[in-house]
């Protein structure tokens, strides 16, 4: 049971869970409150972020975090960054697991009006592309829906 649970947890941490509703945690290197009309990405606390340096993919447990994000583009239709995906291998279980760093290309797109927040738009899709090594069981390209 432990091996099955650990393998399942790894897949959850590595990308399978990304297909679920994903939002991200706050980042110190970002603009916390974008100007009205500026497109943002919504963090785990429900706060809009612009060009975050860190972005938590696994809000429930923090076992998957994008770090060292360098944004080359932040436009009304899309945003593009390169950085690292820090993924817990959850072996033998997540609390005892180790984080591994994978180079990643990040794209945010499909902006929409944010319900209940007049004038605020947010990106609703996140795509991760791994140019080299990637977490076990994770496809080279992962696309997920983001909630606002």
The band of 98, judged by pLDDT with boundaries at 50, 70 and 90, is: very high
Q: What does the mean pLDDT of the chain come to?
A: 83
Q: What six digits make up the tokens of 53?
A: 């340096």
Per residue in 29-42, pLDDT (tens digit) is: 444 444 455 899 99
* pLDDT on residue 22: 42
3-class DSSP state of 133: coil
How far does CA 38 lie from the centroid of its chain?
19
128: nearest Cα among 79, 67, 85, 68: 85
Phi, psi dihedral angles at 9 (to 5 degrees) = -65, -40
Instruction: Give me the percent of the chain exceeding a pLDDT of 70.
Output: 75
Per residue in 52-97, pLDDT (tens digit) is: 999 999 999 999 999 999 999 999 999 999 999 999 999 999 999 9
Q: What six digits make up the tokens of 44?
A: 């785990």
Rounded Cα distance between 19 and 3, Å, is 23
Phi, psi dihedral angles at 5 (to 5 degrees) = -65, -45
* pLDDT on residue 83: 99
- In the predicted model, what is the mean pLDDT of residues 19-34? 43
* Residue 140: burial class (beta carbons within 10 Å; 0-12, 13-18, 19+): exposed
Per residue in 107-142, pLDDT (tens digit) is: 999 999 999 999 999 999 999 999 999 999 999 999
Q: Structure pTM?
A: 0.77
Cα distance between the two ends of the chain: 36
More confident residue, 148 or 140: 140
Rounded Cα distance between 57 and 80, Å, is 16
* pLDDT on residue 38: 84
Q: Do the beta carbons of residue 53 and residue 31 sit within 8 Å?
A: no
């Amino acid at each position: 049971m432990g091996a099955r649970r650990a393998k399942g947890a790894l897949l959850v941490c590595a990308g399978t869970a990304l297909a679920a509703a994903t939002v991200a945690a706050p980042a110190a290197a970002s603009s916390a409150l974008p100007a009205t009309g500026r497109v943002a990405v919504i963090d785990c606390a429900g706060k809009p972020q612009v060009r975050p340096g860190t972005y938590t993919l696994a809000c429930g447990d923090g076992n998957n975090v994008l770090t060292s994000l360098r944004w080359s583009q932040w436009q009304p239709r899309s945003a593009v960054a390169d950085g690292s995906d820090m993924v817990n291998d959850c072996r033998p279980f997540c609390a005892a697991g180790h984080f591994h760093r994978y180079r990643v290309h990040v794209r945010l797109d499909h902006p929409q009006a944010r319900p209940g927040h007049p004038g605020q738009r947010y990106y609703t899709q996140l795509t991760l592309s791994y140019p080299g090594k990637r977490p076990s069981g994770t496809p080279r390209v992962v696309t997920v829906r983001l909630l606002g």
